[in-house]
Structure formats: structure tokens, C-alpha cells
Amino acid sequence: MNDTSTGHGAHGLMAEFETPDELLSAAHKTYGKGYRQLDAYSPLPVHGLGAAIGFPQTNIAVISFVCAIIGGLVGFGLQYWVHVIEYPINIGGRPHFSGPMFIPVAFETTILFAAVGTVIALILLNRLPQPYHPVFNVPEFERASQDRFFLCVESSDPQYETEGTRSFLQSLGPVKVSEVEA
């Protein structure tokens, strides 16, 4: 039952933890309880946290590979077009098309396209830049980049009910449970 009437447009509830192990344990228990609209915030990488909150795997590797293939073909194709089609020059009786000569530029464009494509994909998939998020309204959240770990259950979750969710989060042993205003 979704109960946002008591929260007056609340984004959800956020529990604050002191250690990454507490956050990981709480994330597993919260996901196991049936909550699916979760987010976790940590000042350092916590191995297994993404899986614990049900974060889907991305296709960054596939995107990078496709961009690399496109880059290699563009580099090779550009050289072929310049040296064979548009501006062929016979120097010392060498052929216009020489595959080994095209390898360095094709390799460099492969790396360039893969790197740029990956950065663009990361920005788009992470929905960046995000200058505002409701969790910024919680005063304690400023420590998320220093020494605290946070788990937020969003009010859009089908199981979210303000008091029930609050008591569940309290049972996980956090430092504090805060309401996140929208």
C-alpha cells in the first residue's frame, strides 16, 4: 500500500549507517523484505551493493565494443577513401591500398571511439548531470561523501507505507532514519 499522504509529498525514507558492512546487510534485508525502489549512497565502492539493491546490469561493455568496431572501421575507411579513391598518389610504384600502413590510424580511432562512446554512455545511463535530487534535502546526507552510508526506500515502492517502512528501517539498526522530502 503506497502511503504518501502522511509524508506530504515525501520522496521516501533514508537510513544512515556507520559502516559499509551495515549498509550491505541492510540492503540485503530490505530487498529480501520485498522493497524494490531502493537506492544506496556510499563514499566508497561497496562490493555487492548493486546486486543487493537489485541494480540491473548495464551493457557498457557491449556499447564500448560497438563503438570500438565503428572507430576501427571509420579509421580504416577514411584512409582507404583518401589513399585509394579521392587522392591516389603513386610513390615509388607502391600500391594505393596497403593494409599494414592503415593499421596504426585504425587502431588509434578504435581506442578514441571506444573511450568517447563509453564516457557518453556512462553519462547518459547514469542520467547525469543531476544538479538536484530529493536526498540533498536531508542535512545528514552531506556526510555521504565523507564517512556515512545511506539506504533510501522511495515512496514509489508498492510496499512503501510510511510508518511500516520506518519501523522496518529502524529494526536494521541505523544511526538515524530520516524522511526525504520531495
Contact 63, 52 (CB under 8 A): no
Query: Which positions of the chain have pLDDT values less than 70?
Result: 1-8
CATH class of 10-43+144-181: alpha beta
- The residues spanned by each domain of the chain are 10-43+144-181, 60-125
**What is the four-CA torsion angle of 94, 98, 102, 103, rounded to 10 degrees?**
-120
CA distance 136 to 2: 23
Position 9 scores a pLDDT of: 78
CA atoms within 13 A on the CB side of 124: 10
Cα–Cα nearest to 116, from 59, 58, 70: 70
For 10-55, the pLDDT digits (tens) are: 999 999 999 999 999 999 999 999 999 999 999 999 999 999 999 9
CA dihedral of residues 131, 55, 176, 157 (deg, nearest 10): 90
Give the pLDDT score at 105. Answer: 96
Give me the chain's average pLDDT, please.
93
The pTM for the full model equals 0.76
